[in-house]
Chains A and B, each alone.
Chain A
Amino acid sequence: MTHEALEESVPLYAAGALDRVERQALEAHLLTGCASCHSALKDYQSIAALLPLALSPTKPPRSLKATIMAERNPAPIPVQTPPNEPARQSLEPGEWMNHLFPPVAPARSASLPWALGFAALLIVAVGGYFAWNVSTQRSIATSNIQQLEASLQEKSTKLAAVQREVGDQAKTLLELRNALQQRSNEVAEAKEQLAQREAELEETHAQLSRQGAPHVAGTPQDELAALLRIPNVKAVSLTGSDLAKHATGFLLYDSRTQKAWLYSVNLPECPAGTTYQLWAIRDKPISIGTFQMDTGETTHLLVKKVLSFTDAKTFAVSLEPSGGRPQPTGPIYLLSRS
């Protein structure tokens, strides 16, 4: 097709009256940088865009705007057409606008070699036929350079847009990371608090169980534990008599604090009006103290202050009437071996 024939088709192109083949021929011609066709197309297209203004205006339904505003994606996507978009029968809108500058979208670059080939043929044929002078060609070259510059500028703009988007995404990522960090801090804090609560709870339990042992003053368990670690504490074990074969006892004497500790196990319950009495026996029995074994009790800790029984040979627990007696009168329940 000659340049004239192509230029003739510009108004038809603008009106949308060309068929596909003719449209593509003109597009290829425009890619050669033909300045006069460019300018004519621009004129005609700007007129064509005005044509709908001649129609009697019809307002869209009121609800349409709300629907559209609600349906949009959260942000415009500054990328090219998604690959899965179905092929359009007609030209992409603004495609003619692309011709004011060469296409830059990768999707369109496939047609470029063909277009360039076409362009080369066209330049040879048309150039020969019309004997284009040097100035015409120079103007084409200049126009090409301008197009390339424009294309470069356009690409830089797009790159900037992409970079901006990447920047935004990085920011979002950072925010998410910070949020995550904060969450894990909160979780760690919560764990710490939980551990503290557990510790407090444990302590409360311990206090409750201490308070639940009414016969023991202070914290005898702790003292006993401490006592067991002192090497020079005198320790004596007691065994049950025939009356209490399963009973055993363990007596400690700390000379520094002058305290005696009797830990008895499996002594039978005291019958009403009786009490157990602990004796240190040297030449004669000396009372150390009395204690009760109540229903259900299997162990008992007796703590008494005594002046001295370092020379006591034997220890015994007997059952005496309530209040105890100065000398043992009842049956022996526990007796030391030595």
Chain B
Amino acid sequence: MDKPSQHVTSMIDPTLLARVVKGDQQAFSQLYDHSSTLLFTLAVRILGNREEAAELLQDVYLEVWRKVSRYDVGRGTPVAWLVTLTKSRAIDRLRARASSRGYQAANPPEVGTAAEVTDPGPSPFETQADQELRIAVGAAVAGLPQAQQQAIELAYYEGLSHAEIASRLNQPLGTVKTRIKLGMSKLRDSLQRWGNHGELQ
């Protein structure tokens, strides 16, 4: 826990990306192995179905392969880069879908929030450090008041702005902003140790 191995998903070694930059196939394969479950989970959560998530992941990894030279370790951890890229592309898709079909609730019924999902137990490939981090994040999110968690997830997974969230929830704008700020601040306090881990600066 104190010294997670470099194979932990959340702690992908920046040198792995440096190898991918040089066109190292094996490094890319390793990067996929370490990150695909997390990114797929995220994509399924945002898009609501596995087929589209798989399509998205294909795009994302090809983009990673092409643009990996743009990654700069000084700007954040590799996993933060991958998560941000995946989230951004997934929300692009979500918006494109919404604008082409008219607005519809994108939150799929079969995917619950973290607090509602029972832990299926560690996968055989999950390292202990990964598991611990996952439990810590799950606990931190679950520990938020329901309203804060909801507001953050609407922004994070559905790409809604605070104004859109306010109108969705029928709440004053200021209330929504406060909920997000408070919620993020609590998450930061409980996860600071993890968030800063792996940062080089």
A97 to B80, CA, bound (A): 9
| A12 contact set on B, CB distance < 8 A | 155, 162, 177, 180-181, 184
> How many pairs of A and B residues are in contact by the CB < 8 Å rule?
229
A18 to B165, CA, bound (A): 11
A57 to B119, CA, bound (A): 9
Task: Select which of A45, A52, A150 is within 8 A of B38 by beta carbon.
Answer: A52
Given the interface pairs A11-B185, A12-B162, A51-B156, the reply to whether A94 lies near B191 with Cβ below 8 Å is: no
A150 to chain B, nearest CB (A): 7
A68 to B60, CA, bound (A): 10
Contact A15 B155, beta carbon cutoff 8 Å? yes
A180 to chain B, nearest CB (A): 25
A40 to chain B, nearest CB (A): 9
A76-92: which have CB < 8 Å to B?
76-81, 88-92
Is A43 interfacial (CB 8 A cutoff)?
yes
Given the interface pairs A49-B80, A50-B137, A150-B74, the reply to whether A8 lies near B181 with Cβ below 8 Å is: yes
Task: Select which of B57, B81, B118 is within 8 A of A93 by beta carbon.
Answer: B81
Is A58 interfacial (CB 8 A cutoff)?
yes
Contact B85 A94, beta carbon cutoff 8 Å? yes
Contact B184 A94, beta carbon cutoff 8 Å? no
| B81 contact set on A, CB distance < 8 A | 93-94, 97
Given the interface pairs A46-B77, A46-B199, the reply to whether A57 lies near B54 with Cβ below 8 Å is: no
Is A256 interfacial (CB 8 A cutoff)?
no
B150 to chain A, nearest CB (A): 12
Interface size class of A (residues with CB under 8 A): 35 or more
Interface size class of B (residues with CB under 8 A): 35 or more
Contact B92 A88, beta carbon cutoff 8 Å? yes
Contact B80 A46, beta carbon cutoff 8 Å? yes
| A150 contact set on B, CB distance < 8 A | 74
Beta-carbon contacts of A14-58 to B below 8 Å, as 1s and 0s?
111111000000000000000000000011111111111111111
Contact A58 B195, beta carbon cutoff 8 Å? no
Is A101 interfacial (CB 8 A cutoff)?
yes
Given the interface pairs A58-B50, A60-B36, the reply to whether A17 lies near B155 with Cβ below 8 Å is: yes
A18 to B163, CA, bound (A): 8
**Chain A contact residues, CB within 8 Å of chain B:** 8, 11-12, 14-19, 42-61, 64-65, 67-69, 71-81, 88-94, 96-98, 100-101, 150, 154, 158, 161
**23 CB-based A-B contacts, threshold 8 Å:** A11-B181, A11-B185, A17-B151, A17-B155, A17-B180, A45-B84, A46-B77, A46-B199, A49-B76, A50-B133, A53-B38, A60-B40, A60-B53, A60-B57, A61-B50, A68-B62, A69-B32, A90-B159, A93-B88, A94-B76, A94-B81, A97-B75, A97-B84
Knowing that A16-B91, A50-B194 touch, tell me 9 more A-B residue pairs with CB under 8 angstroms.
A11-B184, A11-B188, A43-B196, A46-B76, A46-B199, A47-B188, A90-B88, A93-B84, A93-B87
